[in-house]
Amino acid sequence: MIKKCSICGKRDAYIYRQSSGEYICNKCMDRVIMKNVKKTLAKTRKLSSNMNILVYGTWLAPTESLIAVRTVPRVESRYKAHVIISVPREMSSYVRNIVNPESSVVVYNYVIKKRLLADCILEDIDNARKIALDNSVDVIITPYPRMLLVKAGLQAIMSGRSDLVKASRQVHDTAPPVVSALFRLEKEFILEYAYASGIPLLQPKHACSDMGAGIILLNVLKDSHEVEFNSLRTLEVLTDFVEPSDNSSLIPFREEKQ
């Protein structure tokens, strides 16, 4: 028997979302994406009307980039924001098929380098800042899913480089601030949404190594939906471990003395 959508209660469900226990139809998947992107963008507390927003696409997360490019302008349209889209040159043909023809699209040359994943993310952000500076941008939106950022946080520990922990942050409170738009969404849901919406499922193109961080997370956290659910807390632990706050009593990987 086909389940009805848990959100609208009318249409047949398209997927079962393990993290929330919901059956969701195609149309409500779009509502979930929009709602979560809105909540994530609200974390900057800097968004207002008539702002210049840069949506930065990357081959580190190509399908997520296309979703961000499609979703963020729709979210910000009510605030009359000017959205600028910047993507690798090879990705621009996909972008132009899913955005308004009048959209501002800036292409850049994506250079594949063999290095750590966390380094690649930080280099992406630096490149986005350069493009933002040239276009008087107020906020930068990146497409990194949270598991990618968790891997970067784990790399900071595995490599012994505290400078890499910056790559794991959901929000970079800099000028201009940088926000990962899809951070609240699990990878499985993102891919299902892309497929249902006709957004191309693109393979990442890079030579960045995660040092086995992905395998470690899978072995530690087990089931795929639990990996995504627990990755939020894992990211907090990793960040606090490398850069502990002054009032933090959290000591990862040790048992507290009774």
Amino acid present at 83: V
Q: Which residues does residue 82 pair with via DSSP β-bridges, in sequence order? A: 52
DSSP per-residue codes, 158-176: HHT-GGGGGGG-SEE-SSS
Backbone CA torsion sign across 88, 84, 183, 121: positive
Q: Are 53 and 141 within 8 A, CB to CB? A: yes
Distance (Å, whole) CA 24 – CA 236: 29
Q: What is the pLDDT of residue 50?
A: 74
Q: What is the pLDDT of residue 220?
A: 52
* Closest to 41 in 3D by CA, of 210, 153, 171: 171
pLDDT tens digits along 93-126: 999 888 887 788 889 998 888 888 888 999 999 9
pLDDT tens digits along 212-256: 666 555 555 554 444 454 555 555 555 554 444 433 333 333 333
Residue 170 confidence class, pLDDT cut points 50, 70, 90: confident
pLDDT tens digits along 45-90: 566 667 889 999 999 999 999 999 999 988 888 777 889 999 999 9
Record the pTM.
0.81
Q: Is the pLDDT of residue 258 over 60?
A: no
Q: Are 28 and 8 within 8 A, CB to CB? A: yes
Domain range summary for the chain, segments of one domain joined by +: 29-242
Q: Which fold has domain 29-242?
A: Rossmann fold (3.40.50)
